[in-house]
A and B are shown apart, each in its own frame.
Chain A
Amino acid sequence: MVDPEESAASGSPELTLSPPEEQILRSLRSSGSPLGEEELAPATGLPADTLRGSLQRLRSKRLLDVEEEHRTGYRLTERGSVARSAGLPERRLARLLASAPGGLDPTALGASGLTEEECSVAIGVLRRRGLLEPGVPLRLRPNVDPGAPTPEEQALDRIAGGERPDEGALPALVRRGLVEVLHSTLRRWRLSKEGAALELERSRGPMIGALTPALLTDGGWRGASFRPYDVRAVVPYRTGPEPHPYAQFLEEFAEILVGLGFEEAEGPLVETEFWNNDVLYMPQEHPARSVHDAFSLRDVVGRITDPALLERVAAAHEGRPLPGTAHPLSRGWRVPYRTDIAERAVLRSQTTAVSARYLARKPEPPFRMFCLDRNFRPESLDASHHIEFAQCEGILGEEGISVRDLIGIFRELAEGIGIRELKLRPSYFPFTEPSVEAYVRHPQLGWIEVFPGGLFRPEVLGPLGIEVPVAAWGIGVTRLAMVALHVNDIRELFSDDLGRLTGRGA
C-alpha cells in the first residue's frame, strides 16, 4: 500500500521534500555508494511501503538514479523435492526393471507405487534415451547401468544445494514441473548529479503534512507551514461499483420494447405443468413436449385453480369441442388429458407461460405485452448453454395480425439493436402455427438464430377465450447479451467476480 499522505508529498518548482525523502537523501549521501532497499530500510528507519514510494518520487524528481540487475534463479518445486528424495520416476522404473529380467507389462506397473502419470513419463524418458528394448513387456537393454546418475538428477542436486545447474537439463525439469524459474531484479539507488548537489536545509521550520484532529483541536496548525503536495503525482488506482453489465443490458432491452408500445408482465418461476405446457397446447405424452424439458421439484406440488379453464384446455388437447361449441378446434392430440400431470410443479422453462397467464386475464385488444425474465432447462452446462437463461417473450394481439406483422416485429427488433441482415426459416413450436425462426447476421459469428416466434394456435387462444389473432415471439436475450457484451462464455454473464465487476483486477 502506498501511504496516501506520502504519495502526494512535496515537490514543487522549489523542489520541496518530504521528511522520508530527506532521510533517504541523507542516508545515500553519508553512505557514498549505491544502496539497495534492504540497506536503506534500516538506515532510514522507514517502513517498506513508505521507502519504496519515496524512492520512486525522488527518482521522478531526478534526484536519484537507479541501477538494475536482472537475475534468474531456480528452485525445486514441491514435486521436485519429492522426486529428488524418492527418485525420479524414470530412476524408479529403471530400478524396477533391473530387478525383473523377464520384463514387466506396462499394465502391471500400477502396483509398483508409480502413478499412471509417472509411469507414462518414466517410460517416455527411458525410451527416448534408448534404454528400453522396443515393444512390450518393458525390458532394459543389456548393459544399462540403472544406478548411473542422470543429468536431471545432477541438476536437481545442484539446485537443492543452491548451485547453478547445468542448463541442458533445465528445460525438461521445468516442463515436468520439478523446477521453477525465479526472475528477480536487484535495484541499487544512488544520488544523481542533481541529488548530490542539492542542499538539504530545513529553513522554513516545521511543516505540516496530514492535518490531524489533534492539530485542529490544540491549534498546533497556527503559525506552521503546510507541506505542499505534488498535485500531479500518480495516485492509487481506485475502483468502485458499476451497474451489473448483464442486468444493465436487460434493462436497456426492456426499454426498447417499451418504446415499441409493449407493456411489461411477469410470472412465477415455479409453475404448474398446466401453465408451463398444457395451456400452450404442448401435449402431455408426445415428443413435441420434449421441445424442451423442464426441471421438476422435490416435495412441491401444485393444483388447478380454474377448473373451467382446465376443462377447455383438456377439450383442446383431446380434440373435443370446447364447452358450449359444436366443433372441435382440431383433431387435438387424441389422448386422454391427465390432470395429475397438469398439477405437477416445474421450474418455468419458457416465459410463454407468462404470456398464457396474461392472456387468461383477457386483455382488451389491441394489446402488446413483453416479459423479460429467467427460465430454466436441464441443458448441459458449457460456454454457450446455461441451465438458467433469460428470454424475452412478447405477444401482440390485434385484429388482422398475421405472419407479415410477426416478421415486422423481428425486423424492427433487429434494427433496434443495430442488425440489418435477417433471414427466415420454418420452425416448430407446439403452441404456434406457423412457427418461424429468424436468423441475424453477426459480423463475427455469422448467422445466429435469435428470433423464434409464430402465431398462437387456435388450440391455445380458444380455451383462453381470446378472439383476436396473437403473434408471439421469444428472443434468446442471453445470446444477444453475449454478443453485445463481448462475452464468449455464457457463465460470465452471471459473474460475481469483483475483479470483473469493479475493474480492480485479479
Chain B
Amino acid sequence: MPQSTLSLARTIEGLRRPPSPHELTELLFRFSKAEASGIDGDELTIEVTPDRLDLLSEGGLRQHLEGLLGERSGLPAIPRHDPGPEQRIRVAPEVSPVRPAIAAVLATAPPGGSLDVGLLGELVRFQEILHATLGLDRRSASLGIYPWERLHPPIRYAVRPLREIRFTPLGGTAPVDGPAFFAGHPMAARYGHLGRVGEGALVLEDRSGELLSLPPILNSATGGEARVGDRVLLLESTGRRSARVEDAVGLLELPLVARGWSLSPVHVEHPERAETGECFVRPRTERLPASALTAVAGAPWESTDAIRELGRARLGADPAESGWSVDVPPWRPDLQGPADLAEEVLLTRGLEIGSARLPASRRRGRRLPAQAFRRGLRERLLGLGFVPLFNPVLVAGSIGTLLGRDPVALANPVSLELSHLRDALLLSLVQSLGRNVRFGYPQRLSEVGPVVLRAPGSETGARTVYHAGFLIAGEGVGFSDAAATLEYLLRRWQLVGVREPVELASTIPGRAARVRLAGEPIAEMGELHPSVLDHLGVPVPAVYGELDLDALAPLLGGS
C-alpha cells in the first residue's frame, strides 16, 4: 500500500474542530481509503489504496477531512488566471520515440504569498511518492517543479547531443558535461536509460538555452530548482503515456491549490497537435445516473441526499436528467465513471452492517465432480495407511535435477526452495521423504493434488492437472508394492491397467513401469534409484506410484 509520513499540524491546520489522533484514526478507518497507520507527535503516517494517491499530501488529506467532518462541502475552488503569450512548451519531433508525453501547469501564489518551507517540503515529498507509484519509478511518468520567474519561456522539450550538455545537477555545486554526468552521477545510473536517445539525451530548456532538467533524471540547480520565496511554479510531467502524465500533473497541483494558489494552463505544442492544458485548471464533468446509484446501494436515493454526500466527498454535484452531473477535480483520476461516483456517495455515508443478510438461494450448491473423485482417492489411500500430505505446488529446482525432470521454472522466484512448479507429485513426495528421515521406517506418504505440465501452443502455455501419488519406503519394499497399490486403486472402478516397462531417470533401470488403460497412459511407478535415496539420506528402498487423474477421468465414463 502506498504510504507517506505527513505533518499532522499541517494536515489539520485550519480545521474548525481538529480531530484527536484517536478520532482521526477512526474517521479514516470507517469512511476513507486512507488509514492512519501511525501517529507520533507531528508525524502522521498514512497508508492509502492505490487509487487515492491524493490523500498522501497534507493538502489533499485536509480537504478530505473537511468534507468528512462536515466543515466544508463541494468542489474546492480552483482559482484560475489566463496564460501569458509565451506560456507554452514546444515539443521537438525527436522525443516521440522515447518519451512523447508531456504536460504542465503554472501555479501562482496568492497575493502576498510565496513558497514556504512547509509547502516546498510537501511538494517534494508528494512528487517522490508520485514517482514511485503512479510514475512506476519514473518509467511511466516523472515530475518536475521549476521557478517560472527565473526562466525565459517558451520552454522546449527536445533531444540534445550529450557533448553539448553542460549543467549543474540539482544538489551539486559545479557544472558537469553530459558524458561525465551520465558516466558518474547516481541519478543517471538509476534513471539514465529512460532519458537517453542514441548519443543524446532528453532535455527541457528555456529560450535562452538554460537547461531546466534532463527528464526524467534530474533537474538543473540553476534553471530547475524551486526555492523558498518563489511565487510562480511550473509543474511539469513527462512520460510514455499522455494519460499518466496528465494524472501526475493533476495530482501534483493539489497541495498548491489547497493553499490557495491559482492555476494557469500551459500550452503544449507537439509536432502534429497542440494541447491547451485546460484539463488542469478546471474540473471535468461526469454523470451519475440515479439508476447506477440505486443498483449499487440497493435502494433509491433522494437527490438532495446524494448531492450532500457527493459534496462531502469534495465533488461538485447538481441535479441532471435522471441523475446528477458531478464536477471532478484534476486530482481525482480514480473517478472514471458512474460506479466510482456511486461508491463516493456510499463511502461518505459509511458502510453499515445493519440487518444485511445473504438472500436465500434459488439453486442447490454443489461440489465439482472432480473434487469428489479426488476426495475418494484421498480416502482410499488413507485407508491403505498412507499419510496424506498437502505440499506446495512450488518445489526446489534441485529436486527436479535430482530426479532428472525439467519442471517449469519461475522467472522471478523469491526462494530457491520454492522456485519451480512440480510436474509430478513425485517431486514433493521425495522432498517429504528426505525431510522425514529421522522418523524411521516404514513410511507411507501420499498426496492428491495439482501439478503443472508444459503445453506449448495452448492458451496459457501450461496445463494444470491433478495426480494422486504415493511413496512407500521401508525394508523389504519393492516394485510389487507400488504395482499392487496402483492396482488396488484402479479396482475401485473395476479397471485393470496394462503395465509396460519404461526407463525413468529417477528409478532403477528395469524397475519402472507405465500403466496404460485403453491405450492411454494413466500412471507410472517405479523403485527409486539408490543415488536418489543416498542423496536424501534414506537408508531403505522406496517405491512410488502416480496416477494421472485428468487422464483417468475421461476413461471412467459416468462412474
What is A's interface to B at a CB cutoff of 8 Å? 240-244, 246-247, 251, 254-255, 257-266, 268-272, 285-288, 290-291, 295-305, 319, 329-336, 345, 347, 366-368, 374, 376, 378-381, 386-388, 398, 400-405, 407-409, 411-412, 422-428, 433-436, 455, 457-459, 469, 493-494, 496-499, 501-502, 504, 506
B294 to chain A: closest residue by CB = A402
B413 to chain A: closest residue by CB = A295
On whether the beta carbons of B363 and A434 are closer than 8 Å, the reply is: no
Q: Given B364, B443, B464, which contacts A270 in the complex, CB threshold below 8 Å?
A: B464
Among all A-B residue pairs, the 10 with the closest Cβ atoms: A261-B361, A330-B337, A402-B298, A428-B49, A334-B243, A258-B365, A434-B343, A270-B462, A496-B432, A300-B461
In the complex, what residues of A have CB within 8 A of residue B459's CB? 272, 302-305
- A270 and B358 in contact (CB under 8 A), knowing A297-B409, A403-B298, A426-B32? no
* B366 CB, nearest partner CB in chain A, Å: 5
* A241 CB, nearest partner CB in chain B, Å: 4
Provide the bound-state CA to CA distance between A374 and B415, in Å: 18
* A255 CB, nearest partner CB in chain B, Å: 8
| Mask of B238-261 contacts with A, CB within 8 angstroms, 1/0 | 001111100000000000000000
Q: Given B33, B353, B410, which contacts A295 in the complex, CB threshold below 8 Å?
A: B410
On whether the beta carbons of B418 and A387 are closer than 8 Å, the reply is: yes
On whether the beta carbons of A241 and B411 are closer than 8 Å, the reply is: no
* B122 CB, nearest partner CB in chain A, Å: 20
On whether the beta carbons of B340 and A335 are closer than 8 Å, the reply is: no
> What are 26 sample pairs from A and B whose C-beta atoms fall under 8 A apart?
A258-B366, A260-B361, A263-B365, A270-B461, A290-B50, A295-B410, A295-B411, A295-B413, A298-B408, A305-B459, A330-B339, A381-B414, A402-B297, A403-B296, A403-B297, A404-B299, A405-B358, A408-B356, A426-B33, A434-B296, A434-B343, A434-B346, A494-B390, A497-B435, A497-B436, A501-B388
* B147 CB, nearest partner CB in chain A, Å: 29
* Interface pick from B69-77, B160-168, B379-387, B504-512: B379-387
On whether the beta carbons of B464 and A260 are closer than 8 Å, the reply is: no
In the complex, what residues of B have CB within 8 A of residue A244's CB? 388-390
On whether the beta carbons of A374 and B450 are closer than 8 Å, the reply is: yes
- A388 and B393 in contact (CB under 8 A), knowing A407-B356, A498-B443? yes
In the complex, what residues of B have CB within 8 A of residue A388's CB? 392-394, 418
In the complex, what residues of A have CB within 8 A of residue B485's CB? none
On whether the beta carbons of B414 and A387 are closer than 8 Å, the reply is: yes
On whether the beta carbons of B357 and A408 are closer than 8 Å, the reply is: yes
* A207 CB, nearest partner CB in chain B, Å: 32
On whether the beta carbons of B461 and A302 are closer than 8 Å, the reply is: yes
Q: Is B133 an interface residue (CB 8 A)?
A: yes
User: How many B residues face the partner with a CB closer than 8 A?
Assistant: 97
Provide the bound-state CA to CA distance between A451 and B87, in Å: 51
Q: Given B352, B408, B435, which contacts A496 in the complex, CB threshold below 8 Å?
A: B435
Q: Given A335, A368, A412, A428, which contacts B244 in the complex, CB threshold below 8 Å?
A: A335
- A506 and B438 in contact (CB under 8 A), knowing A287-B2, A291-B50, A300-B461? yes
Provide the bound-state CA to CA distance between A386 and B545, in Å: 29
| Mask of B388-421 contacts with A, CB within 8 angstroms, 1/0 | 1111111000000000000011111111001001
In the complex, what residues of A have CB within 8 A of residue B343's CB? 426, 433-435
- A241 and B296 in contact (CB under 8 A), knowing A285-B140, A300-B461, A408-B358? no
In the complex, what residues of A have CB within 8 A of residue B31's CB? 426
On whether the beta carbons of A264 and B371 are closer than 8 Å, the reply is: yes
- A502 and B387 in contact (CB under 8 A), knowing A403-B351, A408-B359, A422-B353? yes
On whether the beta carbons of A402 and B49 are closer than 8 Å, the reply is: no
In the complex, what residues of B have CB within 8 A of residue A458's CB? 337-339
Q: Is B295 an interface residue (CB 8 A)?
A: yes
B139 to chain A: closest residue by CB = A285
On whether the beta carbons of A376 and B388 are closer than 8 Å, the reply is: no
- A499 and B351 in contact (CB under 8 A), knowing A388-B418, A428-B49? no
Main secondary structure of the interface of A (DSSP, over half): mixed
| Mask of B10-21 contacts with A, CB within 8 angstroms, 1/0 | 000000000000
B242 to chain A: closest residue by CB = A334
Q: Is B266 an interface residue (CB 8 A)?
A: no
- A251 and B375 in contact (CB under 8 A), knowing A288-B51, A499-B439? yes
Provide the bound-state CA to CA distance between A164 and B146, in Å: 81
B434 to chain A: closest residue by CB = A496
Provide the bound-state CA to CA distance between A288 and B360, in Å: 35
* A85 CB, nearest partner CB in chain B, Å: 31
Q: Knowing that A298-B410, A366-B362 touch, tell me 11 more A-B residue pairs with CB under 8 angstroms.
A: A240-B385, A241-B388, A241-B444, A243-B382, A300-B454, A387-B415, A398-B359, A494-B390, A496-B432, A497-B435, A498-B387
In the complex, what residues of B have CB within 8 A of residue A334's CB? 241-243
In the complex, what residues of A have CB within 8 A of residue B360's CB? 261
- A368 and B394 in contact (CB under 8 A), knowing A269-B452, A297-B408, A331-B336? no
Q: Is B290 an interface residue (CB 8 A)?
A: no
On whether the beta carbons of B295 and A287 are closer than 8 Å, the reply is: no
Provide the bound-state CA to CA distance between A257 and B367, in Å: 9
- A268 and B460 in contact (CB under 8 A), knowing A331-B337, A403-B297? yes
On whether the beta carbons of B295 and A258 are closer than 8 Å, the reply is: no
Provide the bound-state CA to CA distance between A434 and B345, in Å: 10
On whether the beta carbons of B415 and A381 are closer than 8 Å, the reply is: yes
In the complex, what residues of A have CB within 8 A of residue B347's CB? 426, 434
In the complex, what residues of A have CB within 8 A of residue B436's CB? 496-498
Q: Which of A388, A426, A493, A497 has the most CB of B within 10 A?
A: A426
Provide the bound-state CA to CA distance between A295 and B408, in Å: 12
- A424 and B33 in contact (CB under 8 A), knowing A269-B464, A298-B411, A412-B358? no
On whether the beta carbons of A297 and B462 are closer than 8 Å, the reply is: yes
On whether the beta carbons of A428 and B33 are closer than 8 Å, the reply is: yes
In the complex, what residues of A have CB within 8 A of residue B140's CB? 285-286
B135 to chain A: closest residue by CB = A287
Provide the bound-state CA to CA distance between A475 and B247, in Å: 32
In the complex, what residues of B have CB within 8 A of residue A367's CB? 363
- A368 and B450 in contact (CB under 8 A), knowing A300-B461, A457-B339? no
Provide the bound-state CA to CA distance between A258 and B136, in Å: 42
Provide the bound-state CA to CA distance between A347 and B338, in Å: 33
